[in-house]
Each structure stands twice: as C-alpha cells, then as structure tokens.
Amino acid sequence: MKLYNKTKYPDELLEAVLVEAGRAVGARTSKVIVKVTSAKPGYVHCRGIATKCDYVKRFFLDTRAYRKGTHKLKEGIVETDGGYLRLTVPYPKIPDWIKNSDIYPRWLEAHQAEPENIASLIFSVAAHEWRHIKQYQTRMFRDRFSVKQEQAKRHDNRAWEKDATRAASKAEKRNTNNKAEAITNLITWLEEQYE
C-alpha cells in the first residue's frame, strides 16, 4: 500500500487496519495509493471515495514538495493498481471545550465517538471503498455491471454499491487474528489520545 497519511494517526496503526480491510474484501492492496486525511476536531466523520485510475500526479499527494519548488517532484507521477482511495477519518482527539463541558457524556453517546466505534467505523468505511478498488482491479464494471442501466438508479441502489456494502458487512463479521490485533492496537492508541 502506498500510504499518504496526512493525519495524526501513526502510519503503522493506520496501515495495519487498512490492509486488513482491503484483504477482507479481496482487493490487491500492495500497490494501491491510499491518501488519508482527518475531519475537523469535534466532528466524527468517516467517509471515503475510490477513483478508477492507473496513476496519480505526485502534486496531489505531496503538495509540500511543490511548495519547496522541487519541480521534478511536481511533474512526477505515482503508479497505482486499479484505483486511488481517499479516506477521511475522525479527528483522533476530542477538543477541550467538548471534554470540559457538561454535555460530554451525551456528546460521546450521540456521536458514537468511543474508540471502539471509531476503530470499527474506519475499518468498515475502508472495506467498502476497497471493494470498489477490487471492482476496478477485476474489471467488474466491464464484465458484471451494465453501467448505463445502473446509473439511472439512486446511488445506494446501484449494483456496485450493493456489492460493496455486502462485501463490507461480510468483512466486518469476519474475525481473523490479524484484524483483531490491528483494531485493538488502534483502539489502545485512541484511548491514550482521549485521556
């Protein structure tokens, strides 16, 4: 996996969870570009998008290199395997103004912001998007879906969305040692951030 981690989550923890999510839905993960950003503090958003492509311009992955004036980097491309996965994960810390207020327990409950929920949320959103990558890798759009017919339907009713949702919920239920370990490590780290 070519991870571009723009968040405060440690690379190893994030990578372990994302690789497990990808494997669980049958995607080839090793050469896929994954860019992770985090939502604003206090927002418990997790969403993703998978784009079909063979490469991404380096400029979109490393804006800093551009700012330094490294023109060669700006012009470069990064190859990927089937698609490009972007993920927005919840901000790993809870801001003090929420933590110190009376509504904190209710806020935790309403947003389901407990570390266990956040870790499994990241896993399931990632699994859904990885399934789209798998669809690009195995050319399902050419072989299995009739794109025009499906695009007339509402977003969630399209064949590829149903396929991704089904695969993700299967992946959530499946228990392997690696998955449990990756998620537990992430939960432990999140708990430290919450203190």
Site residues for Zn ion per CB under 5 A: 161, 164
The number of beta carbons lying within 10 Å of the beta carbon of residue 13 is 19
Cα–Cα distance for residue pair 190/186, rounded to 1 Å = 6
Minimum distance from CB of 131 to Zn ion (Å)? 8
Query: Which CB sits closer to Zn ion, 62 or 161?
Result: 161
And the tokens for 139? 């050319």
Minimum Å distance from CB 161 to Zn ion?
A: 5
Least distance to Zn ion, CB of residue 7, Å: 21
C-alpha pair distances (Å), 47 with each of 5, 40, 43, 59, 169: 15, 13, 12, 23, 16
Shortest distance in whole angstroms from residue 120 CB to Zn ion = 18
d(CA 187, CA 123): 12
Phi and psi for 136 in degrees, rounded to 5?
-70, -40
Instruction: Provide the minimum distance between the beta carbon of 49 and Zn ion in the complex, in angstroms, as a whole number.
Output: 8
φ and ψ of 37, to 5 deg: -120, 165
CB atoms under 10 Å from CB of 195, counted, come to 6
Neighbours of 24 (CB within 10 A): 24
